[in-house]
A = this chain, B = another copy of it.
C-alpha cells in the first residue's frame, strides 16, 4: 500500500524546538518514488535543506555518496558526507563543523555497533543532539534507525519466539527516549527479539520497523507511518514474564504484551501508547 503524497516541507528559518526523528526499517526505495527519502528532504527544508550524511555504520566506501547524490538530485541546497573512521575523527572540529549548520542529518545502514562504538560520546554525537534540539530532522535507516534511541538493540538473533539472550542492548544516541527500535522487522523475523527486549526492559516501548517503511516521530511523541509496510509496537507496561527465572538461552514465557500494528497513513501516540484512529465522519443531521 502506498502512502498518499504529503508535503512535509519546513522552512529552516522557522525551526523552533526539537526536530522530528525518522526511524527507517532499511532498504528504503532509492530509485522510484523515494517517498521516505523525499519526506526527509522536505523536513530538512526542501530547497533550503543543508544535509549531512553520516555513513559510519557502513563498511561500503560509497554508502554516503549515494545518499548525497539523491538529496542533491531532489534539490537540497547542500549535502555533505562526513567520514569517521574512529573516535579521534569523531572528536575533530573538521567533523563537527558541517553538522553545526545542518537542517537534516542522515545516518546510513550497516552495523549499529560500529556507529555507536565510533560516534557515541564524541563531539559529533553532541553536535547531532544539538542540531536536533534546534529543529533539524534526524533520520536513520537500518542500523542508523536502531542507534536513534537511548537504548539500542546492539545485536541478536531472529525468530518468532522470545528466548533469553537473543538480543543485547547498548547505549544509542538518545534522540528518542523510552523506546527500543528494531529494523528489517518482518524481513528478519524479529518478533521474538522485540518481545524479549520488552520483557527484559518493560519500561521501553518496542518499535519494529519493516523495510521501506518509516516511523516518523514528532517532538510530541506522535508517530506517523510512511512507506510500504508497517510498524509493530510492543507495549510492555502490563507485561509479566519469567525472564528472571529461566536460564541460558531458554524460551521466555510472556503474558499481557500489548501489540499494535500500524500501517502506512496511520498514527500512533508513543507517549500514551494508543493508536490514533481517524475520527468517524459525523452523521449529517
Chain A interface (Cβ < 8 Å from any Cβ of B): 1, 159-162, 185-186, 189, 191, 195, 210, 229-230, 232, 240, 242, 246, 250-264, 266, 274-275, 277
Contact = CB atoms under 8 A, between A and B. Distances in A.
Q: Is the interface of A mostly helix, strand, loop or mixed?
A: loop
A241 to B, nearest CB: 8
Contacts of A185: 160
A185 B159 CA distance: 12
A189 B160 contact: yes
Contacts of A189: 160, 189
A256 B258 contact: yes
**Copies assembled:** 2
A271 to B, nearest CB: 15
Contact of A275 (B253, B260, B263, B266): B253
A1 B246 CA distance: 10
Contacts of A232: 160-161
Nearest to A241: B261
A275 B259 CA distance: 17
A175 to B, nearest CB: 25
B230 A261 contact: no
A46 to B, nearest CB: 29
Contact of A159 (B186, B251, B255, B256): B186
Contacts of A191: 160, 191
Contacts of A240: 275, 277
Given A160-B191, A229-B161, A230-B161, A253 B261 contact: yes
A43 B78 CA distance: 73
Nearest to A235: B256
A253 B266 contact: yes
Across the A-B interface, the 3 shortest Cβ-Cβ residue pairs: A255-B275, A253-B263, A160-B186
Q: Give the one of A186, A251, A257 with max B CB within 10 A.
A: A251
Nearest to A160: B186
Given A160-B189, A240-B277, A275-B240, A230 B258 contact: no
